[in-house]
Amino acid sequence: MTSFVVRRAAQSVVLFFIVISGVFCLVHLTPGGPEAALAQNPRVGVDELQQLRQRFGLNDALPVQYVKWVTNAAHLDFGQSYFYQRPATQVVGERLMPTLQLGLMAYVIALLGVPLGAVAALHRGRMADTLVQLIVTVGAAVPTWWLGLSSIVALNSLTGWFPNGQGQGNAVEWLKYIILPASVLGLGGLVSFARLVRSGVLDTLGEDFVRTARAKGLGPSLVASRHVLTNALLPVITLLGGLLPSVLSGTLVTEYVFAWPGVGRLFYEAATSRDYPLLLAVLTMTTFATILGTLMADVGYGLVDPRVRYA
Amino acid sequence: MQLRRSAWDRFRRDRASVAALGMLLLVATLSATAPLLAAGVLHSDPDRFVRTDAGRIATLRAPSPGNLLGTDDLGRDVLARLLYAGRVSLLVGFGVALMSVAIGAPLGLLAAYFGGWFDDLVNALVQVVLNVPLLFVLIVLSVLLAPGALQLALIFGLFLWPSTARQVRGAALSVSRRDYVDAARVLGASHVRVLRQHIAPNVASVVLVMAGIDMATAILAESSLSFLGFGVPVPLASWGNMLSLSQDQFRAAPWLVYPPGVMIFVTVLCVFVVTDGLRDALDPRMAFTR
């Protein structure tokens, strides 16, 4: 198991490097290039453009730029943000907290899918099951951004309250503002958890040891809690990591809709203003998180299921 | 042939799937005939500004007999835009499904059949692409390339094929280890013949299902991208960008919010239901249970 984790982690490092290099090339090789934003600005003359190119190192050959960027990035230095005129790392750091709060809260919402899936499977074919299936189907087909918008609009016309931004002050205020965006962001995860747990519980219900437990006279609730759920809930761990990429990309849309001052919104702003150092900084961070999520999912899978043997 | 006909028979018996397929065809027809419908039936145009009797541009009008779904912040007819927007979403959806299958299916098939270094190569590629933070990179690409609807479909397809390749590889792997495949090889069948006659038919249902999932994913992703303002270029309407106006407008005009979302929801839901129906109908094991 240890050797598997080590090897898998090493693979992830290589993978991270490849993806990041690809992203860097993508940004720098495409027509327009990093300086397009500067060139578009009418206040920036040809001389100034040259100076700026010099200052941001855009005159170097691409491999040189790449090596410089990687070396600096290894020290968490992503250069100066064009727009903020401050280190990109610093700007991203300031936006990290709100996104972490939103993301964690979304995970809490998503985990509600676990009991939903379990209840659905244990009451297969009945009202509860149908209801959960309905939530799962609807949740998978509805666009996140639209759910956010329509819930804001519905809430506004019902209560006159227009939730926007991050709540300041006490915990109640904080919760009041975070609950809607977190629910919208967490819905996708809730659907995945409910699906996974439902099919997991149904599979386990058909296992021999469950029949044995029943045969020796245990009551249905005892069988469900001690034999079925303990086994069926293990795969939930793998999804905790597997969900990370989709939660991350979800923050892009959710933070935009709810004017949440996090990294997703920062990326949106950086993209509209073509702030390349900032874009690359956020991209590096999200790539890292994406790969970390996959790694966690794989390792978690090995941890919970002893039947899985890694060659 | 026999199997295929019975699959259609099984699909036909599933009422939900048939209804969903009908609904999809309806949406497709409405989108395809959008220019005719808008000009002939609605007497409106997705890009023309609606004017009041006094000659002023009628912005943010509530639904009325003249404009069944009202007008948007620039005074354009929402229903006409809704019809035209369907063309973009469906084009992107179908395009991506095609791309993803065209790249993913052969790669997955060959990787499973030949194994060895080719399998490793495909797996490595799949790993790399799957670990790209998709929406973030799509935004960067969209900023840099300013793609139209078709280019957007191409770009999406380049990122969505790995899941298809993975599933096809898995399905093909379990088939290519069967005895009858070895028997065919021993009897002197060429690789091409084995792949085409013995393996591909068993993978076809997986390919169809993945095409459906890719289509749904693409429609949802395009709508998110367009909503953020990085999708198809304005003034081209898409179900996503119809709502990318300032949020404050929605306080005054809440009716603008619902139509595009409902269209995406219905379309994606129908794709899912049809896909599910296909999966069941094409599953050879189901031939005996029903």
Task: Give the per-residue pLDDT at B1.
Answer: 47
* Residue A186 pLDDT greater than 90, yes or no: yes
Q: Does A10 touch chain B (CB under 8 A)?
A: no
Nearest-10 crossing angle of helices B15-32, B2-13 = 90
Contact B223 A146 (CB under 8 A): yes
- Find out whether A263 and A251 touch, Cβ atoms under 8 Å: yes
DSSP state of A87: B
Chain A residues lying within 8 Å of B272, measured CB to CB:
137, 140-141
Which of A171-175, A177-181, A201-205, B89-93 has the lowest average pLDDT? Answer: A171-175
Q: Does residue A101 sit in helix, strand or coil?
A: helix
Task: Give the per-residue pLDDT at A41.
Answer: 65
Q: Is pTM beyond 0.90 here?
A: no
Give the separation between CA A70 and CA A18, rounded to whole angstroms. Answer: 12
- Find the length of chain B: 290
Of the spans A163-167, A220-224, B92-96, which averages the highest pLDDT?
B92-96
- Main-chain dihedrals φ then ψ at residue A274, nearest 5 degrees: 50, 50
Q: Does A163 touch chain B (CB under 8 A)?
A: no
Omega before residue B235 within 30° of 0, cis = yes
* Residue A66 pLDDT greater than 60, yes or no: yes
Amino acid symbol at B6: S
* Residue A266 pLDDT greater than 90, yes or no: yes
Contact B132 A287 (CB under 8 A): yes
* Residue A95 pLDDT greater than 50, yes or no: yes
Q: What is the value of ipTM here, to two decimals?
A: 0.85
Mean pLDDT of chain A: 85
Of B133, B250, B264, the CB nearest to A286: B133
- Find out whether A233 and A300 touch, Cβ atoms under 8 Å: no
Query: Could you tell me the mean pLDDT of each successive run of 10 residues in chain B, 290 residues long?
Result: 67 87 92 81 73 70 73 79 90 93 94 91 92 90 85 91 93 85 86 86 88 93 90 84 73 82 93 88 59
Contact A141 B216 (CB under 8 A): yes
